[in-house]
Each structure stands twice: as structure tokens, then as C-alpha cells.
Amino acid sequence: MKKASAFGFGLASRLTGILSSGSHVAVATSVVLAASCLVACADENDPKTWVKRLDDPAQRAPAIKRLDQFFNDAMSSVNNNREDEKVKKLLDDAVEPLAKAYTAGGLDDKTRKDLIKLLGDMGDARAAPAFAKAFKDHEPGKSDDDVKYAAQGTTRMAQAGKLTDQALIDALWECFAKFQPSKNTKSINLVKDLQNAVMVVKHPSYGPKAVEKLSAPVTDPKDPSQGMDQIQFWQATSARLVGELKFTPAVKPLVKVLMTPAKADLIFPVRLALSKMPKESEPVLIAGLKGSDPDLASLAAAYPEKAYIPRVAEPIAYISRTAGRDAILDALANADNDSNRTILATDLTHFPSDAKTVKAYLDAYAKVPPNAAISLLGGGNGHAIIAQSAANFFDPTLTDWLLKETAAAKGEAADAMPPAALQAAIKLMTPAQEKAVGEAVNKIPGQAIEKDMFKSASASLEKCKENADCYIGILDTPVPSNPPAAKMGHVKAAWMAGIYGKDKTKQDLVAKVEKVKDGSVRLAMVEAIDHLSPQGDAASADKLEKIVDADRAAGVNAATDEVYKIALKLRSRVP
């Protein structure tokens, strides 16, 4: 191209002499046209033509625009398959020169943003130096878009398994660690893209850095610089990250976060992270519950009414191992207020059912006054809260107790008990108990959803009696959408499959979870799977987690979080 340009320039400088002589005009014209063709007749449909123009400041912006068109056209023509040869050839030609143009700097704002956006869309590993520069050079309010597109490109690289550049991995964390959403409120997408990039990359080197973030103090979560930056951004992301990495040195810092009053908004990501490291988490949580760890005991002292106990007991219950169950039984025996007693009693239903656990549950119920309001659970009636959870024991012998307590309820409990206790009784009732449950349900004055639920459940019960395979067959039929109580027939089928089923029943349930999209029925099915897996089941956990991954990829939420929790529980119980 340079030779052609020089030739064209020389020819033009001599043209005056040729024309002034008045001779050989036709020859001169032909030569000029030939020179112009050498200069201007490059193939405009060849990406290499436009790659070369990146070196020319005057042509750089249109070159970026044209290369963007090439990329989008290529992706569209192959159904967005980045491994197609057409796309790979374009990336081979364009990525490195584009990245070089970005890292060289000296670009106006629009050209720079257009360039990094194209590289982000391409998501090619050879753009790593450009992405690293975008992260390192971030200026809030000025280069926010650069970080957003760099984060998107880095995410694509990591998802493709092609992120190996340690400089980029480090630059991403450095940007995340300094970024403050409270001062960058113009783009929520920027915040999400940066968080997502960190979570997708989840490099092992991030583990210790995430622990450092989790250890930062929070004194006023209502202050935007603390609530938005520390809690919602840095620490929530760090909790999720160490869980994904299964970074076990984070266990105690996570439990400290769990027991810090000012970090209450982190309970859910922290509990999930601990559940992913069950064997390492359980002893630390038990130490927190018992007060045997001095660091954790000092945090517990900040809670009135020992309100730290439910916080610590809940992840122990979701981990659902024997040592944790025994620790909760001890805590329940020593509970000195109705809130802790009520919550600990319901926590017991997350463990495999046995006589010792059920007795402790019933004893706790008896110690709670009939009209006790549980402040930690929104002021709900203690008896109703405990009774509602009885169904999770999958123990039909509790049905008569539920009917008895419902009939005996007075005052506020008389209003709270029927919808809680009778729904549990409907799930648990056997053919021999059906009549008594129906009579109790019919005593509810006026219209009540429990009446329709009983009718739907009874149809399943009368069809299948004590036949687990028959109940599994009901789950193959469509789930009614209206009225809402009609789906109780399927919920009842799942419950009875859990009560009467064996290992084969469990495998049949696992095989059907993916096909059932109704959240209520799905939840009942995985609860039954949980009940049928007292020793855990890693293989079933794997299958459930695949369903969760597929649901999330498709944007489906059919009790997806609950399915995942059960999968983690099945895995953690394995000896």
C-alpha cells in the first residue's frame, strides 16, 4: 500500500509537465487511472483492508465500525457459533490489531468505547491486554463503559475456558475491589457485569482476597457506602465466590459474618456458601452455637435474647448431618425463650426423622404457650409455625396429634392453627385417617382452601392407597393450574411416595423432577427425595444440580432454589 501511495504521489507531481507539454494526453490519463486503482481499489469486503486502516487516525473510526459489521454478519450467518471457521478467520485477522489500537491509547472517547465494545463482543483471548488496560485505567464516570464491555469480554473468555492471562485475572479483581456502586449509579448493568465476571472467572487466587473483603467492618448498613458497597457488592459477591471455590479457609470468616448483627443482609449468600463446604463448616457452626469459640462467643454477646442461635442453627439444619442434629437437640433442650424454642423445633424437620428427633420436636411444642407470638418470625403464632412443619417428618403418626391440637386451639391460636396444622395433616393422612381429617377440615366455617385441598388429596389417596408406584404414576399426569388447590392431588402423591416408597421410588422421583414445572409439586417431590435419602445420595444430587443449571440457563424458576438446597443436603449427608 505504501509503494502504491508513493507511486501515485510521484505520478501526480509529474503530471503537470506531461499535460503542459500538450502531448500524450491519452497516455497520461491511463497512467493516472492505473495509479488511482492501486491506491483506492483495495477490496472493501476484505476485513484485512479495514484492519490496515486502524493505523490511520483518520480512518480508524470507520474501520472499527466496518469490522463490527463484519463480526455481526459472520455471527448471524452461523447462528452465533464462535467456533465456525468464518468467525475464527475474522478473529484471527482482527483481534490483535484491535487490541493493539486500544492499548496504544490516544483515542477519543467515542472511538475508544466503540473499540472496546467490539472486543468485548468478540470475547477472544487475544484481547486480554485491552481488557486488562480497561480495568486498570478505570475512571468513575468517564470510562465506565470500558469496564462494562471488558467485563463482558472477560466473562465470554472464561466461559469458553480460554482465560489464562494472569495479568487480566488480577486486573479484574483490582477493579472489582476498588469499584463503588454508591458512586457509580448511572448503570446497574455495569455493576452486574463486573460482579458476573468475577463470579465466572472465580480464579483460586481470589479466595484469600475475598476473605479479606468479608472481614471488612460494617457499622451502619443504611449508609450507602456501607450497605451498597460493602454489603450488597463486595461482601455478598465474596461470600458467593468462596462458596463456588469451596475455599475452606473462608469458613470461620463466613460464620463471623453470619453472627455479625450489622451484616444480617448477608445471611442467605453466607448460608449457601457454608452449605457448599458442609464437613468443614459444621464444626465451626456448632462452636458458634455452643459458644465454645471465643471469637464467635464475643459476637454472640451482642444479641439480646440469644437471637444469634437461630442464625447459626439454620445452616446447621440445612447441612443436615448427625453432629449438627445433636447440637440442635442440645440447644433446644436448653432454650430459654419461645422464639428460639419455636425456630429450633422447626429446624429439626430438616434432619432424617427418628423417634428421638420427633419427641424433642413435640416436647418443644408443649413448652411454647398456645398464643405465643414469635417476634423473629413476624409475630406468627408459635404453635401454628411448629405444627405446619410437622409434614416434613413424613410421619403419619403425627396426623392424630395435629387434629387434636387443632381442636384444642383457643383464642388467636384457633385462627392460626387450622390453615397450618390441617394442611400438614392432609399431606400426612393415610387411608385410615382420611375420614377424621375430612371431619376436621369441614369444621372450618365458610369457604376455605383447605376444603378444596382435602378433596384433591383424597382423590389421590383413594386411588393409590399404600401403593408407591401408583402415586408415582399420578406425577406423570398434567398438573392442574386452576383452581390453585387442585394441584394438591399431585403434592399428596409426592408425599405418599415418600411415606411408602423405597430406593426405587426415590430414583423414579428424581427422574421425573425435570419434567414437572409446577413449583409446588416440584418442591413436594424433592422433599420426598430428601426424606428417602437419610444417608445422602451424591448421584441424585448430581442429577438435581443438572436440572438447576438447565433451569437457570433457560430463565426458569420452578422451585429451582429449593431443588438446589435439597441437592446440597443430599451431598452433605454422605458419610
For the chain, first and last CA: distance in Å? 71
Which backbone phi and psi does 445 adopt, to 5 degrees? -70, 145
> What gap in Å lies between CA 355 and CA 247, rounded to an integer?
37
Which residue in 122, 69, 74 sits closest to 98, CA to CA?
122
CA distance linking residue 111 with residue 98, whole number of Å: 11
Cell 478473529, residue located: 91
Task: Using alpha carbons, list the distances in angstroms from residue 483 to 235, 283, 418, 471, 565.
Answer: 43, 46, 20, 21, 29
In DSSP terms, 311 is beta-bridged to: none
- Rounded to 5 degrees, what are φ and ψ at 506? -60, -45
What does the alpha-carbon distance between residue 254 and residue 243 come to, in Å, rounded to a whole number? 10
Cα distances (angstroms) measured from residue 322 to each of 52, 110, 279, 354, 533: 68, 61, 11, 12, 14
Please tell me the pTM assigned to this model.
Answer: 0.89
Q: How are beta strands 373-374 and 380-381 bridged, if at all?
A: antiparallel
User: What residues contact residue 282 under an 8 Å CB cut-off, 6+ apart?
Assistant: 316, 319, 321, 323, 324
One digit per residue, the tens of pLDDT, for the chain of length 575 reads 333 433 333 433 433 443 344 444 444 444 444 444 444 557 899 999 999 999 999 999 999 999 999 999 999 999 999 999 999 999 999 999 999 999 999 999 999 999 999 999 999 999 999 999 999 999 998 999 999 999 999 999 999 999 999 999 999 999 999 999 998 767 789 999 999 999 999 999 999 999 999 999 999 999 988 999 999 999 999 999 999 999 999 999 999 999 999 999 999 999 999 999 999 999 999 999 999 999 999 999 999 999 999 999 999 999 999 999 999 999 999 999 999 999 999 999 999 999 999 999 999 999 999 999 999 999 999 999 999 999 999 999 999 999 999 999 999 999 999 999 999 999 999 999 999 999 999 999 999 999 999 999 999 999 999 999 999 999 999 999 889 999 999 999 999 999 999 999 999 999 999 999 999 999 999 999 999 999 999 999 999 999 999 999 999 899 999 999 999 999 999 99
Written in H, E and C, the secondary structure of 79-99 is CCCCCCHHHHHHHHHHHHHHH
In sequence order, what are the residues at sequence separation of 6 or more whose Cβ sits closer than 8 angstroms to the Cβ of residue 250? 207, 210, 211, 214, 242, 273
How many helical (H) and strand (E) elements, i.e. helices and strands, does the chain have? 33, 2
